[in-house]
Structure 1
């Protein structure tokens, strides 16, 4: 479904991605792990066509995203859902209007059909009966759920998640992780999840890819990354400090 081949991405003198290659299978949930600034979100922007690679190819469903016209890109994006890091709901719109936004922009559905789909997607994310609420009255976790409902309203083949548990407490993070897993099971979509939340990643991933300073150091199942011979991968997977001398003997809790 997604094939990234020898991609380099630079912004001026800064090299963000260096010879990155990754394949995401149809129906798979791929989690891209890495510290802040490692290039994770840049990969999502390349997949959805918001950026063009400096070199290399980003193939989505057999199409080279860098070679498509704006009209062709918009057509392909109708088959993708994007869940933003901080929900990115329209503050001046109700929950219903937010979820229905893509349906009104890209289809000629009747209001009755739109209303049915909105209720169906809100039910899927566990938010029945909140159609008329404004985003300002929602908790952070509820906003994430509404953002997911909006992303899946058009029944996308691919769902991209940018730090879906960012800013949430551990209980809400677990709720969102379980919801991502449930949504995947129901929709059978191909999912790419960018996160540095290791607990969430291990709950939802079929495979993981560890991005370090713009390059993949390891790609595989969660247990394979935990057993990686690369100390940088194991350090991240075990949550060890960047400075090995930071915790001296007797300092540990």
Structure 2
């Protein structure tokens, strides 16, 4: 039996932290308002979601796209073994470090994706060192975790990810630079976005049908409702499973062989 991936959510080893700690507001992503630190009314006593198979149909697509990158089980199993959510003081403390652990775990996921690229030895070495440093931070206790300068850590890692992305698309001529661009609802059907820099861009509801997104840097891009039918995402950089789940696609969407096609996508 292979060891579980520490960067993949394992809800069975968590305490439903994502159903309790965050707040959310009624809207397109959630069917009701929920204050921070209060259990979602759909959460059962066994820490399972009572409507998990029909979250989208019941108005909770925001739940389906959330990914803690394994932060839930890390906090529950290692930072607070035997966590009692009924202890409000403890729950408050958990709420201060869970976002920190999640941010670090997401950075670890991105660094791992960067390390899979064909990179020069010096950059590969820097990424390996960053990977080790992030793992050490995640393994720390409560006191150390709450002091982590997340912004500074993210900036340092993002510099390495940017360099890795630049190297990966070095053969692309004149890639489109759209970092942080507001492309919500944009008509990009059939667009040549190969090697485009879309870091932090809003692709909310964008029409990307048939677009070429090979080697495009999608770090942090908002893909909710983006239409990816027939789009070519092979080789896309830093594309997370949650970004795919947030979008709409089908059997014609071209993905790398090791990428899992979201279950809710149409077959064709």
Q: Which interval holds the TM-score relative to the shorter structure?
A: 0.3 to 0.5
Higher relative contact order (CA 8 A, sep 6+): 1
**TM-score, length-scaled by structure 2:** 0.36
More strand by share: 1
